[in-house]
Amino acid sequence: MANGFPLAFAHLMKTAGQTMRDILRRNFGAQHCDTLLFEKTTARDWRWMKVCYPRIKSIAGHCITPCDSLFDSFFPKARFFTFLREPVSRTISHYQFLVNGGHTVPSFEVWLEENRNFMTKRLAGTENAQAAIDMLEEKVPFVGLMEHFDESLLLWRHWTGLPNLEIRYHFVNRAPATTTKENILSREENLDRIRGANEEDAKLYGYLVEQRMERQRSQYGSALADDLAAFQDEISKSEPPSGKTSAARLKRNLIYRTGLRSPKADRRYS
């Protein structure tokens, strides 16, 4: 639990990532950066970030991945973490998000084939669960699960070595409509398709549930159950404080965004 910076959040689509980003903003304010890029990054991207954020403490973005050696060269002391999700529910939520957002997307069957084993590929650059597991073991010392979000937040704060981090939250970016999900699930064969397209992700998720989460719970210690109950009671009774979110947004929009290259129109991972 070395207390080092920056914390580098590898944000995978539909894994409560925007909620986690909001927590980082509230805690680190103008020392937090949302990368605003989806595609492969360049050296200029990271140089510009370091100009804008010379004392950066946390970074979040879809373009952040532990298999990116270029990122490593600019932030050699970065501590990666990520949140993942059960593959079937993540896949459906991802497609629903694109449809609800007005993105031009192909039929679900075509899109599913284009986005096979999404989590594994984003983490390791290949459709191989063992490669993704090896990457997590080597370079990502903390992994949370959306299905255990409250517990994962407690484990994450313990891992950071920053006991005063404010982790109360409200979910950001919930689906405003679920018609797409209902249509997908109305066809029984779609579940078989989704499972078939995410066999490697299922292996990865199994490792997380059976090994990584258990290890992280053990590292937290015997107080976890009591702390979790207290945390859930606390968030049920109070809204999270605004913290430093305004400072984070202002710096991103008024300084960082002004020199950022324009993202490509085809946001395959958005």
The 3-class SS string of 181-233 reads HHHHHCCHHHHHHHHHHCHHHHHHHHHHHHHHHHHHHHHHCCCHHHHHHHHHH
pLDDT for 116 equals 97
The band of 43, judged by pLDDT with boundaries at 50, 70 and 90, is very high
Residue 2 lies in a domain: no
Residue 112 lies in a domain: yes
- Asked whether 160 and 7 are in contact (CB, 8 A), the reply is yes
Rounded to an integer, what is the distance from CA 133 to the centroid of its chain?
16
pTM of the model: 0.92
pLDDT for 40 equals 81
How far apart CA 60 and CA 65 sit, in angstroms, is 10
Mean pLDDT, the chain, whole residue set: 92
From residue 218, give the alpha-carbon distance in Å to each of 133, 188, 232: 19, 39, 20
pLDDT for 270 equals 37
pLDDT for 238 equals 82
Residue 25 lies in a domain: yes
- 202-260: pLDDT as tens digits: 999 999 999 999 999 999 999 999 999 999 999 998 887 777 888 899 999 999 999 98
Its domain, for residue 121, covers 7-259
pLDDT for 263 equals 60
From residue 48, give the alpha-carbon distance in Å to each of 35, 44, 73, 173, 261: 11, 6, 14, 28, 10
pLDDT for 38 equals 79
pLDDT for 242 equals 74
For residue 209, count CB atoms less than 10 angstroms from its CB and return exposed for 0-12, middle for 13-18, buried for 19 or more.
middle
Q: Mean of the pLDDT values across residues 78-96?
A: 97
pLDDT for 241 equals 75
- 137-169: pLDDT as tens digits: 999 999 999 999 999 999 999 999 999 999 999
Give the phi and the psi of residue 109 in degrees, each rounded to 5: -60, -45
> How many domains is the chain built from?
1
Residue 266 lies in a domain: no
pLDDT of 117 above 70: yes
Rounded to an integer, what is the distance from CA 242 to the centroid of its chain?
21
CATH code for the domain in which residue 204 is found: 3.40.50
Q: Mean of the pLDDT values across residues 195-203?
A: 98
Residue 268 lies in a domain: no
Residue 206 lies in a domain: yes
Residue 176 lies in a domain: yes
Residue 1 lies in a domain: no
Q: Which two tokens stand for residue 270?
A: 């958005």
